[in-house]
Amino acid sequence: MQSFLLLYHGPATPPDASHEGWPEWFQGLGDELVDMGSPISSRFAVRSDGTTSEAAGSFNGYSIIRAGDRDEALAALRTHPFLRGGDDYTIQVFEVPAKS
């Protein structure tokens, strides 16, 4: 099994937004859920010279799941409630190599 980092990208989520479907989606993953994650709010970027910028990537949150391969990860994401928001909502997926 491989781990995949999911980064949720889309318009800012209002504080009173519905998270309908999320608990069920997480439960449906069973043991394939590594880390439910969390919303992401305040952000900044650090440059090589140590200076900072408010121009960090705009992500709404993250989760980590486990899947046999990319196709299995994609199959799990097809029903993700975050994507119900429309074309402005995407999930960026990164494979996290196993530590040796």
pLDDT at 99: 79
Residue pLDDT, tens place only, 52-85: 988 777 788 999 999 999 999 999 999 999 999 8
Give the alpha-carbon dihedral of 30, 33, 35, 41, to 10 degrees: -100
Q: Is the pLDDT of residue 13 over 80?
A: no
Q: How far apart are CA 13 and CA 71, in angstroms?
A: 28
Residue pLDDT, tens place only, 18-64: 788 999 999 999 999 999 999 887 788 899 999 998 877 778 899 99
pLDDT at 7: 95
The answer to whether residues 35 and 66 touch, using CB atoms and an 8 Å cutoff, is: no
Place of tokens 């799941």: 65
pLDDT at 19: 83
Side chain identity at residue 82, one-letter code: F
* Alpha carbon separation from 51 to 41, 44, 47, 84, 91 (Å, rounded): 20, 10, 5, 38, 29
Q: Which two tokens stand for residue 60?
A: 């709404």
pLDDT at 41: 79
The answer to whether residues 23 and 87 touch, using CB atoms and an 8 Å cutoff, is: no
